[in-house]
Structure 1
Amino acid sequence: MRKSIIIAEDHPITARGMENVLTTMGYHVLGTYQNGLQALNQICLQKPDYVLLDVQMPGMCGLDIVENLHKKNIKVKTIIYTMFTDINLLEQAKNLNVNGYLLKEFAIDDLKECMHALERNMNWYNPKLEEKLKKTKVTFSPELFCKLTTRERAVLNCIANNMSTKEIADEQFISERTVESHRRNIKIKLNLPDKKNALLVWAIENKGFFSLME
C-alpha cells in the first residue's frame, strides 16, 4: 500500500513540482493546500502518513501546524521546507520534533533524501544548516554554572520547565522586572549568545546536567 502525504504550499507552481516528485517516488498525494488552516483541517481529517509544510503560509504557518498536530495527538511525520537559512527556525523545528527540514533552494534533491530517511524511521535535516546549528551550541560548563547565585539557579530551573516570566515571578515571590534582570545576568554568566530564546534552549537541553548539581 502506497504511503500518503499532504502538501501545504501557497505557491501553486512549487506545490505542483513537489507533487510530481512525490508521485514519481510512489507516494499518494492526498491534496495540496495553499492555506495553513485549511491544510491543518485536512491533515486531521485524512490522517496522511506524511505532511510537507511550507514555513510561511496564509492562515497558519508550518511550525504552528506542527504544534497543533501535537496538541491534537495526530500521528504523522512532519517535514518543513523554507527559503530561509535562519538556524533559529531549524532550532524551533527540532524543539517541535519535526522529522524533516528542507531548504527550497535544494528542495528536490533534499526531498528525495529526506523521504528515504523517514522511511527508515530516521529524521533528516538539511546538512549545511544542521552543521551551522551545531557550531553555535553552547555546551554545559560546571565552572560557569557554579558562578550562579542560589536565586539565579532557582530561576534557571523554572526556565528549564518552560515557565513564563510571570509564572517564575509568582513562584519565586519576586517581580517580573527582577526575573528579567536574573535572565540577563544568567546569560552573561553562562556566556550565552545574545539571541532570542538562547537561554530557554540552553536550559531545556542542559537541565539533566545542572539538576544533578543541586
Structure 2
Amino acid sequence: MNTSIVIADDHPLMLRGLTDFLSSKNFNIVGSASDGNSAYNLIVKLKPEIAILDIRMPQKTGLEIAEACQKNNLSTKIILITFDKEEELYDKAKAYNVYGYILKDFAIEEIETCIDNVLNNRPYFSEEIGSFLKHNGYNEKPKGLDLLTKSELKITKLISENKTSQDIAEELNISIRTVDKHRSNIVAKLCLDNKPTSLSIWANVNKTHL
C-alpha cells in the first residue's frame, strides 16, 4: 500500500505543488488542509503514516501539532517545512521529536529523500538549516554530550550517519551486542526515552557537535 500522507500549508501554491508532486510519485495523499486545526483533526481521524506541515499556519502551528501528537502518542511521523531559519523553531522541533525539517526553498528537491528516510525511522534535517545556523553563531552544545566516552561518541556519530548496529559493528570490528550495550549507555546518559528512534533523532539533529 502506498504511503499515506496528510499535507497542510496556508500557502495555496505550496499546498498544491506538494500535493501534485507527491501524487505523481504514487504517494497516497489522504487529506490536505490550510490551517492547523483542520490538519490536526485529519491526523487524528485518518492516522496517516506521515504529516507534512507548514510551521506557521493559522489556528495551530506545525510545531503545536507536533507537540499535540507527541503528547497524545499519535504514531504519525511529522515533517515540518518552513521559510524560517530561527534557532527557537529548530530547538522546538528537536524537543517534539519531529522526524523531518526542511526549508521550503528546497522542499520539492528534498521531500522524497526526507520521506524515504522518515519511513525507515531515520530523521532527516535539511543540511541547509544546520549550515545556516552554524554560520550565524548557533552552537548550542547538547546536554549530556560531555558524559559520553570516546567510544560512545564514535558510535553516536555513526548513528547520525544513519548506520545500523550491524553497520557499526562491522566498521568498528566489534560485536552487535557490544554496539547495543553502548547504545543503551548513551540513551541513559543523554536521558532519552527508550523508543528505538529516539537516539537516531537526537544524533541526527546534533551531528554538528559530534
Percent identity for Structure 1 against Structure 2: 33
Counterpart position of 2:63: 63
Give the drift of 1:140. Answer: 7.9
- For 1:140 and 1:114, the matched residues in 2 are separated by 24
2:31 aligns to what SS in structure 1? Answer: strand
The residue that corresponds to 1:137 in the other structure is 139
Q: 3-state DSSP class of the match of 2:80?
A: strand
**Unpaired stretches in structure 1, ≥5 consecutive residues:** 142-206, 210-214
Distance 2:142 2:58 in 1: 39
Contact 1:85 1:129 in 2 (8 A): yes
- Residue deviations 1:53-72 (CA, integer Å, cap 9, x gap): 00111110000001011112
- Asked whether the 8 Å contact 2:85–2:132 carries over to 1, the reply is no
Compared with structure 1, are the counterparts of its residues 208 and 133 closer, same or farther at alpha carbon in structure 2 (3 Å cutoff)?
farther
CA contact (8 A) 2:87 2:138 kept: no
Take 2:21 and 2:81, find their aligned partners in 1: how far apart are those partners? 15
Amino acid at match of 1:30: V
Please name the residue that 2:109 is paired with.
Answer: 109
Shift of 1:208: 4.4
Q: How does 1:173-188 map to 2 (within 5 A)?
A: none
Give the number of the structure whose alpha-carbon radius of gyration is greater: 1
Q: Considering Cα pairs closer than 8 Å and 6+ residues apart, tell me whether 1 or 2 has the greater RCO.
A: 2
Q: Is the Cα contact below 8 Å between 1:23 and 1:29 reproduced in 2?
A: yes
TM-score computed with the length of structure 2 as normaliser: 0.63
Cα distance in 2 for residues equivalent to 1:26 and 1:71: 31
Alpha-carbon distance in structure 1 between the residues aligned to 2:90 and 2:101: 7
Task: Please tell me whether residue 48 in structure 1 is matched to residue 48 in structure 2.
Answer: yes
Structure 2: which amino acid aligns with 1:121?
N
Q: Counterpart amino acid of 1:68?
A: A
What does residue 10 of structure 1 align with? 10
1:29 equivalent in alignment to 2:32: no
Tell me how far apart the structure 1 counterparts of residues 44 and 142 of structure 2 sit (CA, whole Å): 39
**Displacement, 1:25?**
1.9
CA distance in 2, matches of 1:140, 1:87: 14
- Which amino acid in 1 is paired with 2:98? V
CA RMSD of aligned residues (A): 2.2
Q: Is the 8 A contact 1:87 1:132 kept in 2?
A: no
Aligned length: 144
State the one-letter code of the partner of 1:32: S
What code does the residue aligned with 1:94 have? K
Tell me by how many angstroms 1:97 deviates. Answer: 0.6
Partners in 1 of 2:138 and 2:10 — Cα distance? 32
Structure 1 residue identity aligned to 2:138: T
- Counterpart CA distance in 1 for 2:85 and 2:142 is 26
The runs of at least 4 aligned residues of structure 1 exceeding 6 Å deviation read none
Quick one: structure 1 residues 139 and 121, their matched pair in 2 at CA, closer, same or farther if it must change by over 3 Å? Answer: closer
State the match for 1:197 in structure 2. none
